């Protein structure tokens, strides 16, 4: 152990690790919000609730034998949940888009905000009635228990996995949007949906699938968050406001901006906890205000 600025290295790197973990979730979440906003022009305030749904889905799958005793259903663990939960949440997203969100495309932005905020309140309210505000425990999968002593700090395996996985997910999503043919359709339709449709692409279906993709990412983040934060109905409420600040800082609709700002702001938040703990919950919003004053389109936004 050694000291930096009068702090023990364990304390500093510990906070930086927490910052990086939070940043990983900010990045995965704001990525989905940015994709949805870019394509659908909808500020998806129900994203936090969809993240919560992902975590609950993993919890349900793990507790199937307890929830339905005598049904003979098996316990479905973390790894299958990483695949199943995003698909389930994505399908919920498809239904949500068809039933509700597609109805407000032609209306003012404010209606989209009111609608998605309302949906979030309803979904979170229903889960609150059923499960109360106490969190449900969700264990770290056995294969990722334990950790590594790096000398200057202790790195739990699960947290290392979350950081690596989120970087892979973010890069993979960025690559498929910026460098593939399917992504080219998405970029083109973001710019000029009318013309892309006149070329023979079913744009309404593309909107639905884009929403499902964004929402599926929130579900995936929810599963990954389950062993770190508690699985609780309000887990999405605490993150969604920060996510929107991250998206605004990165530039509304900018994929790259949301990823970079997500990790960066997680780290800044972690550092603030070390040097000025009182400011740690507001620092992101202070940065947002400064960015909006200096660069209203965000750090990576197009003016």
Partner 1 sequence: MSETATMAKEILSVKDLNAWYGESHILHGITINVRQGEVVTLLGRNGAGKTTTLKSIMGIVKNRKGSVMFEGSELIGRTSNQIARQGIAFCPEERGIFASLNVEENLELPPVVRPGGMTVPDIYKLFPNLDERRKSQGTKLSGGEQQMLAIGRILRTGAPLLLLDEPTEGLAPVIVQQIGRIIRTLKEKGFTILLVEQNFHFASTVADRHYVIEHGEVVHSMNNDEIAANRDKLEHFLGI
- Residue that has been written with the tokens 């109360």 in this structure: 132
User: Should residue 202 be labelled a site residue for partner 1 when binding is judged by CB under 8 A?
Assistant: yes
Taking CB under 8 A as the criterion, the residue among 194, 293, 294, 303 binding partner 1 is: 194
Nearest residue to 289 via CA among 235, 240, 236, 248 = 248
d(C-alpha 18, C-alpha 24), whole Å: 10
Stretch in the footprint of partner 1 (CB under 8 A) among 23-31, 50-58, 124-132, 192-200 = 192-200
User: Should residue 41 be labelled a site residue for partner 1 when binding is judged by CB under 8 A?
Assistant: no
Nearest residue to 233 via CA among 42, 48, 107 = 48
Site for partner 1 in 166-185 (CB under 8 A): 181, 184-185
d(C-alpha 55, C-alpha 50), whole Å: 9
22 vs 190 by CB, closer to partner 1: 190
Taking CB under 8 A as the criterion, the residue among 196, 213, 246, 284 binding partner 1 is: 196
CB of 181 to partner 1, least distance (A): 7
* Binding residue count for partner 1, defined by CB under 8 A: 18
Instruction: Dig out the tokens for 65 from the structure.
Output: 């034998």
79 vs 199 by CB, closer to partner 1: 199
Taking CB under 8 A as the criterion, the residue among 99, 107, 195, 290 binding partner 1 is: 195
149 vs 191 by CB, closer to partner 1: 191
Q: What are phi and psi of 296, to 5 degrees?
A: -55, -25
Stretch in the footprint of partner 1 (CB under 8 A) among 7-15, 53-61, 155-163, 200-208 = 200-208
Opening angle at CA 64, ends 126 and 98, nearest 5: 45
Instruction: Dig out the tokens for 181 from the structure.
Output: 């043919």
d(C-alpha 159, C-alpha 227), whole Å: 10
Taking CB under 8 A as the criterion, the residue among 8, 9, 176, 197 binding partner 1 is: 197
d(C-alpha 229, C-alpha 138), whole Å: 9
CB of 186 to partner 1, least distance (A): 9
Taking CB under 8 A as the criterion, the residue among 87, 160, 188, 283 binding partner 1 is: 188
161 vs 185 by CB, closer to partner 1: 185
Taking CB under 8 A as the criterion, the residue among 108, 129, 200, 293 binding partner 1 is: 200
Strands 3-4 and 147-149, by their bridges, are: unpaired
Taking CB under 8 A as the criterion, the residue among 10, 192, 281, 282 binding partner 1 is: 192
Helical spans, DSSP H, in the chain = 9-40, 47-62, 64-67, 78-99, 109-131, 157-178, 181-191, 193-198, 203-225, 235-250, 255-275, 283-294
197 vs 237 by CB, closer to partner 1: 197
Site for partner 1 in 208-227 (CB under 8 A): none
The sign of the dihedral angle between the CA atoms of 158, 159, 165, 169 is positive
User: Should residue 81 be labelled a site residue for partner 1 when binding is judged by CB under 8 A?
Assistant: no
Instruction: Dig out the tokens for 214 from the structure.
Output: 């964004």
Instruction: Dig out the tokens for 216 from the structure.
Output: 């599926």
d(C-alpha 93, C-alpha 301), whole Å: 26
Residues near partner 1 (CB under 8 A) are 181, 184-185, 187-188, 190-192, 194-203
């Amino acid at each position: 152990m050694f000291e930096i600025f009068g702090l023990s290295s364990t304390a500093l790197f510990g906070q930086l690790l927490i910052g990086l973990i939070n940043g990983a979730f900010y990045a995965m979440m704001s990525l989905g919000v940015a994709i949805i906003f870019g394509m659908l022009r909808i500020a998806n305030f129900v994203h936090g609730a969809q993240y919560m749904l992902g975590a609950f889905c993993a919890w349900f799958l793990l507790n199937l034998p307890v929830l339905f005793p005598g049904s003979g259903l098996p316990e479905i663990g973390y790894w299958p949940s990483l695949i199943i939960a995003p698909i389930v949440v994505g399908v919920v997203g498809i239904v949500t888009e068809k039933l509700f969100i597609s109805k407000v495309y032609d209306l003012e932005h404010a209606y989209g905000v009111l609608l998605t905020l309302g949906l979030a309140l309803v979904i979170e309210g229903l889960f609150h009635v059923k499960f109360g505000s106490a969190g449900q425990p969700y264990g770290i999968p056995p294969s990722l228990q334990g950790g590594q002593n790096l000398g200057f700090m202790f790195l739990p395996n699960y947290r290392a996995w979350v950081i690596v996985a989120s970087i892979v997910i973010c890069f993979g999503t960025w690559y498929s949007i910026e460098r593939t043919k399917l992504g080219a359709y998405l970029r083109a339709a973001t710019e000029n949906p009318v013309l892309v449709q006149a070329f023979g692409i079913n744009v309404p279906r593309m909107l639905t699938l884009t929403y499902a993709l964004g929402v599926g990412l929130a579900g995936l983040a929810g599963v990954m968050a389950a062993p770190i934060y508690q699985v609780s109905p309000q887990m999405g409420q605490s993150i969604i406001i920060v996510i929107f600040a991250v998206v605004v800082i990165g530039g509304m609709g900018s994929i790259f901006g949301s990823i970079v700002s997500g990790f960066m702001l997680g780290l800044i938040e972690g550092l603030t906890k070390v040097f000025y703990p009182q400011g740690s919950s507001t620092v992101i919003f202070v940065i947002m205000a400064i960015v909006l004053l200096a660069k209203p389109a965000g750090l990576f936004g197009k003016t």
